[in-house]
Amino acid sequence: MTDSEEEILDEPASLLDPKPILEREVSPLAPPLETLPIVEAPPGQPMVEYLSVNLTYPNGVQALKDVNLVVKKGEFVFLVGSTGSGKSSLLKMIHRELEPTTGAVYVDRQDISELKKHQIPYLRRKLGVIFQDFRVLPHKTAYENVAFALEVTGVHHRYIRPRVRRALELVSLSEKSHRLPGEMSGGEQQRVAIARALVNEPVLLIGDEPTGNLDPDTSWDIMQTLSQINASGTTVMVATHNSQIVDVMRKRVLVMQRGTLLRDEERGRYTAQPEARG
């Protein structure tokens, strides 16, 4: 392997900060996406598994305590809890920004601790992440923002245009593909970010407080978009503090508290409801 090829494989350690990836120069040496050693799970099979996961930081703080959790392919899951409850730590483990102190994390039936360093970028290309602060590139149009996410992974130009158009169509931005972020509302910028997360056809879409900077009406529109994406078969995990959205949508709810999984409820609410008395 040449030095230039090695540089391409050595991508930034964090999927939760895509800026270094999106600002890289396009390189024709980037290997094809299909080399990811993961076979997509059939419907109903586990997409993400946490097996007796514990995480202790170097300062001695225990961020996660004996977490056992399975998210199945095609599910829509809300992850809720106060700041510092362990939500972010769980999400970061999916793409191996963090590794458990003990226990194991599986993504699409692959123990990701077994992946070699050069295989991790291929795992991350199969995941899509949406952020609270959009993180779109200000000097690129909506189309160019989405296309650039493909260009940096070496996708041939003949495939880029139809995939970008499809992604923008899914988020209802086809008619605004030529606009710069500064010419768009906050909700529209978040839709660009969703299209960027979708364009690599991820098996799992992660929302890290995706409506945190949006007004209530726009927040609802964004969550409806994520629900439609989930209806097409994509697994969706969303960390949020928006109790109203969680209560209205009635999806599976995982409640974290001080590093433990406190509650796991199908068609759940943000706050546990008191049992009815006879």
Domain for residue 210, yes or no? yes
Give the residue numbers spanning the domain of 80. 3-265
Q: Which residue has the higher pLDDT, 32 or 74?
A: 74
Residue 70: partners with Cβ closer than 8 Å, 6 or more residues away: 46, 48, 49, 50
User: Residue 242, Cβ neighbours under 10 Å: how many?
Assistant: 22
- Per the structure, how many domains does the chain have? 1
- What is 34-45 written as a DSSP string? GG-S-PPPPTTS
Closest among 49, 108, 57, 106 to 86, alpha carbons compared: 57
pLDDT at 154: 87
Tell me the average pLDDT across 52-67.
96
pLDDT at 163: 96
What CATH number does residue 143 fall under?
Answer: 3.40.50.300
Domain for residue 278, yes or no? no
Alpha-carbon torsion angle 261, 18, 134, 147, nearest 10: -130
pLDDT at residue 38 greater than cutoff 50: no
pLDDT at 41: 54
pTM (two decimals): 0.80
Domain for residue 272, yes or no? no
Domain for residue 46, yes or no? yes
Domain for residue 55, yes or no? yes
How far, rounded to the nearest angstrom, does the alpha carbon of residue 244 sit from its chain's CA centroid? 22
pLDDT tens, position by position, 1-30: 444 333 333 333 333 333 333 333 333 333
Distance CA 34, CA 7 (A): 19
Domain for residue 274, yes or no? no
CB 37 within 8 A of CB 58: no
Count of residues for the chain?
278
User: Residue 54, Cβ neighbours under 10 Å: how many?
Assistant: 15
Distance CA 110, CA 48 (A): 9
Tell me the average pLDDT across 61-76.
96
pLDDT at 131: 82
Domain for residue 45, yes or no? yes
Tell me the average pLDDT across 146-165.
93
